Structure 1
């Protein structure tokens, strides 16, 4: 069997089974474990599968960014759960950054700390904060995205000049290996600027976001302090991504 044919069959098998061991794949294709390990390594290097201990896992690629209205009712309990963990990381009298995304919107209702100063580029977050809290709020300027309902660009990025942020929370469309991904470079750029001004950098991602890749990598897991997720994350995924950074899936005391 030619290598290209093996690669295609491995991808097909993973599309059907999500995860398979090296032994299972080698038995199915009737080739050696060593050959399959080499194939998995090459496929992973080409962003076609995810290489994990003992086997491989399907990589889901995001073909098109969903609008806020399309995301708004997806995985709501997970997003609210994430908010409770975010709250446990925040201290009273803190300055925090809240990025765009529906995860952030549902998480905000779970933040109960006192005397916060909140910086955001999200119109959804801004509207929630001014109508439901007494926090000081800074909404960045910039160009407005009707798809994600966030502000971005040079004017938005300049809003962070001279700011000192205690903890910055940014969402993502997908996490693959060491890559934190989003749909385009301008959405990622403002997250990078916020992280540059933050003492503590945190990614929030419900468990469905792992092993998925969007077009643009805006940051790396090894450069953030932690990821907050929900407790539906699988043991395999948790163990794999813990090699890159700390994963928090329960409220801290």
Structure 2
């Protein structure tokens, strides 16, 4: 079987079943474990599927079901830290920044506890990381609590946010498809969109598995993002495509 045919067969299996194991692919296609690993890595780099432990998951799998906060934190943890480190390097002393909900943004929060800045966030995990060292320089936006992301949203949160201005805003998403940035919660999307509109510069933090993926609510336009920061494993084809909509910064894989 030619490589291209094999890749197409793997992609078909993943899309039809939602999740397939490496063992299933080995058995059905009569190939080695090493071949399956290489093929899955290539398909992920091209934004065709999501690698998970022991196999792969379809880009569109469970689009109507949002993963829990703990589940999200285990996906692409190394890549998320790459992104968070670069984002932290953009923050200057005395700035006022907004940190949106999301596990990548939480990693960013963990890296800036020694900075002399003001932070506004609806994210309870981010607030917990910063409250001891920041004292009166960190503000937690109140509202209705979403346990899935550990953030506060809704009319009260939006009202508070509407009167605030930021030097920089760092947001995340559940998916990016062409110029559309999507998430599963309308309330969470509205909150992040409002923060972007009230900020001098906006940064979208998105690892490889967010590309070519859609979720329920389109909350912002990629054209209006100043920089999309992604990890070192994203393929050139994906970078070229999304580079048509905004500036993309790709981190270096050897960053420590």
On whether the aligned pair clears a TM of 0.5, the verdict is yes
Contact 2:69-2:148 at 8 Å conserved across structures: yes
* Structure-2 residue corresponding to 1:60: 59
Contact 1:97-1:120 at 8 Å conserved across structures: yes
- Equivalent residues in 2 for 1:151-166, closer than 5 Å: 151-166=152-167
> 1:223 Cα shift?
1.3
Pair 1:230 & 2:231 matched = yes
> 1:177 Cα shift?
0.8
* Residue segments in structure 2 that go unaligned for 5+ positions in a row: 1-7, 15-46, 50-57
Q: How many residues are paired up?
A: 204
* Structure-1 residue corresponding to 2:111: 110
Aligned-partner Cα distance in 2 for 1:69–1:141: 22
TM-score (norm: length of structure 1): 0.74
Q: SS state of the match for residue 208, structure 1?
A: helix
Range with bigger deviation, 126-135 or 203-212: 126-135
> 1:250 Cα shift?
3.0
Contact 1:81-1:107 at 8 Å conserved across structures: no
Pair 1:170 & 2:171 matched = yes
Q: Which runs of 4+ in 1 moved over 6 A?
A: none
TM-score (norm: length of structure 2): 0.73
* Structure-2 residue corresponding to 1:46: none
RMSD: 2.4
Pair 1:16 & 2:9 matched = no
> 1:187 Cα shift?
1.1
Contact 1:167-1:199 at 8 Å conserved across structures: yes
Pair 1:187 & 2:183 matched = no
CA pair 112-146 structure 1, distance change in 2 beyond 3 A: closer
Contact 2:102-2:172 at 8 Å conserved across structures: yes
> 1:13 Cα shift?
6.4
Contact 2:162-2:194 at 8 Å conserved across structures: no
Aligned-partner Cα distance in 1 for 2:76–2:199: 28
Aligned-partner Cα distance in 2 for 1:98–1:141: 14
**Deviations 1:161-216 (CA, angstroms, capped at 9, x unpaired):** 33220000111001111110000211100001111110101111111111111111
Aligned-partner Cα distance in 2 for 1:75–1:111: 21
Pair 1:242 & 2:243 matched = yes
Aligned-partner Cα distance in 1 for 2:83–2:241: 20
| Structure of greater Rg | 1
Q: SS state of the match for residue 161, structure 2?
A: coil
* Structure-1 residue corresponding to 2:73: 72
CA pair 241-113 structure 1, distance change in 2 beyond 3 A: farther
Contact 2:124-2:150 at 8 Å conserved across structures: yes
